[in-house]
A = this chain, B = another copy of it.
Amino acid sequence: MDGLLGKEYLKNYIKNVKSIINNYLKNEEEKAKDVGKIPAEAVEHFNNLAAEGKGIRGCLVSLGYEANGGTKMENIYETSTFIEIFHSGVLVHDDFMDRDNKRRGVETLNSIYKKYGEKIKVKTDPLHYGNSMAVSVGDATLYMSWEILLNSNFPPERIIEAGKIYAKYVIRLAHGQVLDITSGAHEDITEKEVLNILWTKSGEYTSLLPLMVGATLVGDIPEKRKKAIENYARCFGWAFQIQDDYLGIFGEEEETRKPITSDLREGKNTLFMFNLRKLGNNEQKAFQSSVLGREDVTKDDVYKMREILRDSGTLNNVLKKGWAYVEEGKKYIGDITDDKNMQNIFESLLVFMMERTK
């Protein structure tokens, strides 16, 4: 099976939630006007970013819900948007940390407000002003995600159990982020740490968190199914992350809609970078060491890095790992659901994680 069905499922999900997200944020923008014009504008900027989300996490909330026997699709579409808002909110903080100016093809909030600060001649440093604005807007949107979850149309005790899972994994995500920005900044890092970073700061909250929240909103999850979801999510998360890092260097900017220089400039310790340290020759490793985390990484540096990753066998090695996760993940699907149609979606969506170009 290829990733086409998964792609369609995702497309359908996005079609269903697009207006829910937009209506919610339009309403938040109105409410923000009670405080002032500037926060209301900030919500509008955030809406532009949120509108461009890939929808993977929200789609997994709905899939986890269906897999555990849930049938109220309208309710779950509505509720699932909490994770889409959260994800966009976390990206706002992320973009400040990574000093990125573009995300999903739109200008990042730190960049928008840096320019705005220059325009209104803020007394403080416009860069710092832009960063502070991004962090505050991000904070607001993290709490909007809670508002959505708590207002959802499920039994109160289910919402609370879902909320506990949500809180647990975001705390871990933030810890992963702490580790990531520290280790990205120097090279002295163990394999266990690299894997922990990749898993907690991305894979886990991309796959395990939404699947478990969706399933939990239905009711308790039978132990066998729970175990299978955890295993599937682990494979899904790793495949997702490997492809994410692949697209970070090998992707087309028109597709990924972020600069190809960004990951190298931030010195991200991806599985590619980690394996290159093991598989590269001295010359290749010297280039890697000189370019990672450098302020002025150029596109030519990225092209050279692509070549090195190919020549050293690192590219092949890591992509093979990604596909191995896809194969492993398939094995658990039978224990998640008996429904053949649902099984196909689980499988195809997993494959799609490695086939996606954005």
Contacts and interface: CB of A to CB of B under 8 A. Distances in A.
A140 B293 contact: no
A131 B184 CA distance: 15
A198 B227 CA distance: 50
Contacts of A150: 160, 163-164, 167
The number of chain A residues touching the other chain, given as a range, is: 35 or more
Number of copies: 2
Interface stretch (A63-71, A168-176, A211-219, A247-255): A168-176
Contact of A135 (B96, B171, B197): B96
A23 to B, nearest CB: 17
Interface stretch (A141-149, A228-236, A298-306): A141-149
A324 interface: no
A151 interface: yes
A129 interface: yes
Given A99-B128, A132-B96, A185-B122, A137 B171 contact: no
Contacts of A131: 131
Interface stretch (A1-9, A28-36, A338-346): A28-36
A65 B151 CA distance: 23
Contacts of A28: 171
B97 A132 contact: yes
A256 interface: no
Given A150-B160, A156-B156, A181 B140 contact: no
A353 interface: no
Contacts of A35: 172, 175-176, 179, 196, 200
Contacts of A174: 39, 136-137, 139-140, 143
B97 A36 contact: no
A142 B142 contact: yes
Contacts of A184: 124
Interface in A291-348: 292-294
A135 B267 contact: no
A74 interface: no
A32 B181 contact: no
Nearest to A293: B123
Contacts of A167: 143-144, 146-147, 150
A159 interface: yes
A182 interface: yes
Nearest to A177: B136
A129 B35 CA distance: 32
A163 B135 contact: no
Question: Which of A34, A163, A292: most chain B CB closer than 10 A?
Answer: A163
A217 to B, nearest CB: 13
A72 interface: no
24 contacts: A35-B200, A36-B178, A36-B196, A38-B179, A90-B139, A93-B136, A120-B186, A121-B186, A123-B185, A123-B267, A124-B185, A124-B266, A124-B293, A135-B135, A136-B177, A143-B167, A144-B171, A146-B166, A147-B168, A150-B160, A150-B164, A155-B156, A156-B159, A160-B160
Q: 5 closest A-B pairs (Cβ-Cβ)?
A: A123-B293, A39-B175, A122-B185, A140-B174, A156-B156
